[in-house]
């Protein structure tokens, strides 16, 4: 298993990731000079499709934790949306998150906050190996995905959905909409996800004694459609519902309930003892 959070990796800049992160931030900044309500709508709608349906539901609750069962057409659709986040392909993303749960705040945690907030937020991406797991690691942590032809094929071309979305946005609103709907949306989604790694392991409430630094953070929960109820999640990793309390808004859980009404979600797994915080 590859480990990304040790100080020795600070000398090993991941030039591929650094170049991608830098170029996307620069182009997102250029987009700020072309503000319009239509462009903002493209970013926000895209962030819901990719950040909520793709990453929160697809990559995280469905593929990583199998907290509910979905028909393959829906699983694959959510995975395509997740690929548009440019947080790596599904097998690598899922492997990283499963490793994080196995070694939370211990040796081997890819983005522990113990080396510092910066490391958990972005340092692990631009130094060392990040999500670049070898074949043995993928076979160990994501055997379910590596046996699925669709997931293996999409992993080889996971940039394609973003390129297609860019072409569509350009056709609708030209370069300004592409800058907001692609680069601005990706950067916004990156930092939203990275804040779950960093902020929700630093600030917030810890109602459950999970033995790690995970917290419930309202601001991050609102930003990430419910993923910020992170202490709840670490207490009950397989639960499809993260916002366990009466006032803990969890958009991703509500979407799963909608899927259930349509017959698209079944065998939904829940926390054994939901909290009321």
pLDDT digits 0-9 by tens, 6-33: 444 556 899 999 999 999 999 999 999 9
Confidence of residue 110 (pLDDT cuts 50, 70, 90): very high
Question: What does the pLDDT read at residue 11?
Answer: 61
Shortest CA distance to 11 belongs to which of 144, 126, 164? Answer: 126
Question: What does the pLDDT read at residue 129?
Answer: 78
| Secondary element (H or E) of residue 146 | helix 143-146
Residues contacting residue 169 through CB under 8 Å, at least 6 positions apart: 42, 177, 178, 181, 182
Query: From CA 128, how far away is CA 205, in angstroms rounded?
Result: 31
How deeply is 191 buried, as exposed, middle or buried, from its count of CB atoms within 10 A (0-12, 13-18, 19+)? middle
Confidence of residue 256 (pLDDT cuts 50, 70, 90): very high
Query: From CA 109, how far away is CA 120, in angstroms rounded?
Result: 10
Query: From CA 181, how far away is CA 165, in angstroms rounded?
Result: 8
Q: Are 235 and 210 in contact (CB under 8 A)?
A: yes
For residue 157, pLDDT over 50 is answered with: yes
For residue 275, pLDDT over 90 is answered with: no
Q: What is the mean pLDDT of residues 180-197?
A: 98
CA separation (Å) from 209 to 64, 122, 234? Answer: 22, 27, 10
Extents of the domains making up the chain: 7-261
Shortest CA distance to 20 belongs to which of 223, 161, 190? Answer: 190
CA separation (Å) from 162 to 23, 101, 136, 159, 248? Answer: 15, 28, 28, 6, 32
Query: From CA 169, how far away is CA 42, in angstroms rounded?
Result: 8
pLDDT digits (tens, 9 = 90+) for 46-105: 999 999 999 999 999 999 999 999 999 999 999 999 999 999 999 999 999 999 999 999
Angle between helices 72-83 and 160-178 (to 10 degrees): 50
Question: What does the pLDDT read at residue 252?
Answer: 98
CA separation (Å) from 88 to 30, 149, 190? Answer: 24, 17, 11
Backbone phi and psi for residue 266, each to the nearest 5 degrees, phi listed first: -145, 175
Residues contacting residue 185 through CB under 8 Å, at least 6 positions apart: 42, 43, 46, 47, 50
Alpha carbon 238 to chain centroid, angstroms: 16
């Amino acid at each position: 298993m590859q480990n990304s959070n040790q100080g020795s990796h600070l000398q090993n800049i991941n030039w591929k990731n650094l170049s991608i992160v830098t170029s996307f931030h620069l182009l997102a900044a250029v987009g700020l000079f072309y503000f319009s309500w239509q462009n903002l709508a493209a970013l926000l709608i895209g962030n819901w499709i990719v950040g909520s349906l793709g990453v929160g539901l697809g990559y995280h609750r469905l593929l990583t934790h199998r907290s509910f069962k979905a028909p393959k057409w829906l699983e694959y659709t959510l995975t395509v949306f997740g690929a548009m986040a440019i947080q790596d392909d599904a097998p690598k993303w899922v492997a990283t998150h499963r490793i994080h749960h196995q070694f939370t705040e211990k040796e081997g945690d890819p983005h522990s906050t113990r080396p510092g907030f910066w490391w958990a937020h972005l340092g692990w991406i631009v130094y060392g190996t990040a999500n670049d797991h070898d074949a043995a690691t993928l076979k160990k942590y994501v055997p379910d995905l590596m046996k699925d032809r669709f997931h293996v094929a999409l992993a080889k071309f996971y940039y394609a959905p973003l390129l297609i979305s860019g072409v569509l946005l350009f056709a609708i609103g030209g370069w300004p909409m592409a800058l907001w709907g692609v680069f601005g949306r990706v950067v916004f989604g990156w930092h939203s996800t990275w804040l779950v790694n960093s902020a929700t392991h630093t600030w917030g409430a810890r109602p459950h004694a999970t033995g790690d630094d995970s917290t419930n953070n309202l601001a991050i929960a609102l930003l990430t459609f419910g993923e910020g109820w992170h202490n709840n999640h670490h207490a009950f990793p397989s639960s499809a519902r993260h916002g366990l309390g009466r006032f803990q808004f969890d958009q991703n859980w509500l979407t799963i309930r909608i899927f259930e009404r349509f017959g698209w979600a079944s065998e939904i797994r829940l926390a054994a003892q939901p909290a009321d915080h």
